[in-house]
Amino acid sequence: MVFTGRITHLSQKGLGVVKNEQDGVSYFVFGTWPGDEGEFAIIDRPLNNKKYGYAKLVQLTHPSNERQQAPCPYLGNHQNACSGCPWMIADYTSQLEQKRNRFLYAMQRTGFDTSILSIPPVHGSPEQYGYRNRFQVKTDGHQLGFVTEGSHHIAPIQDCLVLNTTCRSLLKTINQSLPNSAWQPSTGYESNFIGLDDDLPFDQIKPNQKRPFKQGNHTQNTWIKSWLSKQLQANPTLHNVIELFCGSGNFTEVIADSACHQIIAYEASFDAIQQLRARNLPKVDARPVDLFKPFIWKILRKAISDADTLVLDPPRAGLKNMTGFFEHFRALRTIYYISCDPESFARDAWHFTKEGWTLAEIQLVDLFPHTPHVETLAVMKK
């Protein structure tokens, strides 16, 4: 079924939303932007909701004023198109506006009155191309690339404009090594993944092996670390710090440079903890622990009971585990929450405000231009 319509806004996942007046259903459409008018075709993609569905853009009749010609030849709506940078179709100013809108919507849905929150514009990335220092490709041993929207299909990629110089060269080198029988998936699997970054030599590449986590945009990561450093310097009650989800120490080194007395840093990955310990940062006690384990705050109660400051940078799921948190973090007065997901941040922040915490500062940062991703930096006080 084909219908005409206008993209009114973007969904939380960054897809355009158009309402079909014929059936009253709103459809999510990849590769569209608010203000786009065109013809759309309903597609058979499961969604357990009668009010919404998926459609594809058949013909763009009147493009949005914010739309631009994407410089990447792999972006599109065809079967072999890459969907890694879906917002490359829009000018960068409007991308930043939509990222802020995404955060506002997440907060409003949770229950916040955003009109009383001070939320400045998103801090944009100085580089919109050539910024990314890590990436992951899929391969079946014969071809490799990223994934097409709404599928498990490999979109073959020879080059990528958002990768930095080292990663871009690495992508070209691994393409030249194909076909590679060592990268073929086991029986019953369609593909393997290969994690890559600008610290990985070609001869150490192995399929299905996760690389140590690091922020994907070096310039913006430096800016975030500077933000955290300034916040810590302005904290008059900075003594005992707990860091959750510390990884290999991206933010731990910033905390160690502050005037705090001691830092206990927790992370589930033992490899990451070993890397952090090897750095011999002053005042840091790095401990491996599963922070999503039931009753974890009761287990850690002796270590966390006198902490006045908390720094956390959780995965997309957020802090999530709140059982016993407020009971055992008895001395906590300041929280610095660095989040990669607006929805989980809004959920966690709502729990904190219900326990008497105040959102003292919010700063949004764009780590990944041309994607719906937005990073949240927040200060909570009690």
Active site residues: 340
Q: What one-character DSSP code corresponds to residue 46?
A: -
CA distance 238 to 224: 19
Q: Which amino acid is at 244?
A: L
Instruction: Look at phi and psi of residue 318 and say left if phi exceeds 0, alpha if psi is from -120 to 50, else beta.
Output: left
Q: What are phi and psi of 99, to 5 degrees?
A: -65, -45
Cβ-proximal residues to 216 (8 Å cutoff; 6+ apart), any chain: 131, 132, 133, 134, 135, 367, 368
CB 60 within 8 A of CB 35: no
| Residue 350: burial class (beta carbons within 10 Å; 0-12, 13-18, 19+) | middle
Residue-wise over 312-345: b if at least 16 C-beta within 10 A, else e?
A: bbbbeebbebeebbbebbeebbbbbbbbbbbbbb
In the numeric block, which tokens belong to residue 247?
């990884």
CA distance 123 to 181: 44
Cβ-proximal residues to 310 (8 Å cutoff; 6+ apart), any chain: 241, 242, 243, 244, 329, 332, 334, 335, 336
Residue-wise over 191-219: b if at least 16 C-beta within 10 A, else e?
A: bbbbbbbbebeeeebebeeeeebebbbbe
**Strands 375-381 and 334-339, how do they pair?**
antiparallel
Closest of 197, 211, 203, 210 to residue 166, by C-alpha: 197
CA distance 253 to 280: 10
